[in-house]
């Protein structure tokens, strides 16, 4: 006797595949956001240098400690996102950093390719971090306990 799979029998397998795909896509977003944050933090350390970054923040009228906090947030937060550690909280903690970047670039117009960079990229990045906070860690985390 030949049996054929009914749509109802195939549904659980399809749901499992869809769930795995969603977890992997969530992880891809998380790792991408983490790499971008880490790259921006390390850019401030190795290219602009810490004193240069502090000077830039001071030129904006910000106290110097904000530059140090920003570097720490970008490097530490980037690593945490890549590893999947406290993803929701780290994503939310990075949003004010990006809104500050949007504020710093607001006078340069919308498009980030404008001289001095516009506010488009940091605002999009902040929204992506909010999405990540809503989605959680996804797959490929160091420990589910800290995800």
Residue 28 belongs to what domain range?
18-142
Question: Is residue 1 domain-resident?
Answer: no
Query: In the predicted model, is pLDDT for residue 3 greater than 70?
Result: no
Question: Is residue 121 domain-resident?
Answer: yes
- The residue among 114, 96, 93 whose CA lies nearest residue 105 is 114
Question: Is residue 3 domain-resident?
Answer: no
Give the pLDDT band (50/70/90) at residue 10: low
Question: Is residue 7 domain-resident?
Answer: no
- What digits encode the pLDDT tens for the residues 39-84? 999 999 999 999 999 999 999 999 999 999 999 999 999 999 999 9
Contacts of 56 (CB under 8 A, 6+ apart): 48, 67
Phi, psi angle pair for 99, to nearest 5°: -70, -35
Q: How many structural domains comprise the chain?
A: 1
Decide if 130 contacts 95 (C-beta within 8 A). yes
Question: Is residue 114 domain-resident?
Answer: yes
Question: Is residue 5 domain-resident?
Answer: no
pLDDT at 5: 54
Question: Is residue 13 domain-resident?
Answer: no
Give the pLDDT band (50/70/90) at residue 1: low
């Amino acid at each position: 006797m030949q049996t054929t799979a009914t749509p109802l029998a195939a549904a659980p397998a399809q749901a499992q595949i869809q769930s795995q795909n969603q977890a992997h896509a969530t992880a891809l977003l998380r790792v991408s956001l983490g790499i971008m944050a880490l790259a921006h933090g390390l850019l401030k350390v190795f290219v602009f240098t810490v004193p240069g970054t502090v000077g830039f923040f001071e030129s904006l009228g910000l106290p110097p400690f904000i530059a140090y906090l920003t570097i720490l947030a970008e490097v530490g937060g980037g690593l945490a996102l890549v590893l999947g550690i406290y993803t929701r909280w780290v994503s939310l903690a990075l949003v004010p950093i990006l809104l500050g970047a949007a504020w710093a670039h607001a006078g340069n117009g919308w498009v980030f390719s404008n001289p001095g960079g516009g506010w488009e990229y940091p605002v999009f990045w902040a929204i992506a971090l909010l999405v990540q906070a809503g989605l959680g860690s996804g797959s490929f985390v160091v420990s589910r306990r800290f995800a």
